[in-house]
Amino acid sequence: MVASPFLTRSAGVTDRLPPSAFFVTSAVFHYLGPAFAVLLFARIDVLGVAWLRIASAAVVFALWRRPWRVWRASSWRQRRLLLALGAVLGVMNSAFYLALDRLPLGTVGAIEFLGPVLLAALGLRSVRNMAALVMAVAGVFLLTDVHLVGEPLGLAFAFANCVLFVLYVVLGHRLAADGGAAGIDRLGAAMLIATIVVTPVGIREAAATVTAPVLLAAAFGVGICSSVIPYVCDQLAMARIPRATFALMLSLLPATAVIIGVLVLAQIPTWLEFAGVALVIAGVAVHQERVQGTRRTERRPS
């Protein structure tokens, strides 16, 4: 397939930008979109909002990248990757929204990063990584202790989202192995699959927006902010940096979740919640310092 001049120029621009620029953009929109989605929960059922987020993103990718061409040109091995990522995106976004309906954004954001820290500690057993794990677990303990009595179901969804987020990072790096543009095309195909996955549980609740253009437009805005901009930026960053370096940057996200929760949703954390989030951030940062020191010997995952 011959690349269009527009795509060629776009690739040139993205190659000149540092990977950190894409990650910072992703970090902002990763929680800004869900924060706006929370505001829709009063008008649309949670799973309906999740379906609208995924479906609207799929529409954008369909118009922009025509991802069905990628599916046709893919081998069965590549299709299995697309199916796996699509299933993860669909279930992860649904679990994330079900957690947000019950817990503050900052709490869900902090729990989301327990998985990467745990995997790192198991994969590279060092004093620094064990300290990182202890801090992260202590932070999550404070957060869960605050909400355990009132919202056990919310915590269950938050931990499910945590596991699925780890799978998203692993599969996302495999998707980005051939470069940013190819990864974005495959991401579009995975988003179409994610729409199919969540349709049985979300389409009925989302149907109310058909007669409410303002709500439908707001839902499209959430989809673009939540599932187009951050995931595209992730692909552009993942294509140029190894998984360990990407994980280093993830330490920004729990703090981003707290800040956006305060600014958009007026969710002021208690001192226990703030301490829990701070411990998770510290745990991720401590672990990443250890990985950062060895990143020269690391190969980019395929």
How many DSSP H helices and E strands does the chain contain?
A: 15, 0
Place of tokens 């190894």: 242
State how far Cα 226 lies from the chain centre. 8
Instruction: Residue 260: name the closest of 34, 23, 21, 24 by CA.
Output: 34
CA-to-CA distance for 24 and 57, rounded, in angstroms? 20
CB within 8 Å of 17: residues ≥ 6 apart: none
Is pLDDT at 290 greater than 50 in this prediction? Answer: no
CA-to-CA distance for 146 and 140, rounded, in angstroms? 10
- Write out pLDDT tens, residues 228-270: 999 999 888 888 777 666 765 666 677 778 888 888 888 888 8
Between 127 and 4, the more confident residue is 127
The pLDDT, as a whole number, for residue 2 is: 42
- Are 235 and 11 contacting, i.e. CB atoms less than 8 angstroms apart? no
CA-to-CA distance for 53 and 61, rounded, in angstroms? 12
Residue 285 banded pLDDT, cuts 50, 70, 90: confident
State how far Cα 47 lies from the chain centre. 17
Domain residue ranges in the chain: 19-295
Residue 125 banded pLDDT, cuts 50, 70, 90: low
Residue 136 token pair: 């992260």
**50: number of Cβ within 10 Å:** 31
149, exposed or middle or buried, with CB in 10 Å at 0-12, 13-18, 19+? Answer: exposed
The pLDDT, as a whole number, for residue 244 is: 60
The pLDDT, as a whole number, for residue 28 is: 84
The SS3 of residue 17 is: coil
CA-to-CA distance for 299 and 302, rounded, in angstroms? 9
Eight-state DSSP code of residue 43: T
Rounded alpha-carbon distances, angstroms, from residue 14 to 9, 133, 236: 9, 35, 8
Rounded alpha-carbon distances, angstroms, from residue 244 to 114, 124, 206, 222, 263: 15, 12, 38, 29, 30
In the chain, the DSSP E strands lie at none
For residue 77, give the H/E element and its range.
helix 76-100
The pLDDT, as a whole number, for residue 15 is: 65
**150: number of Cβ within 10 Å:** 11
- Write out pLDDT tens, residues 128-168: 777 777 887 787 777 776 666 678 899 899 999 999 998 99
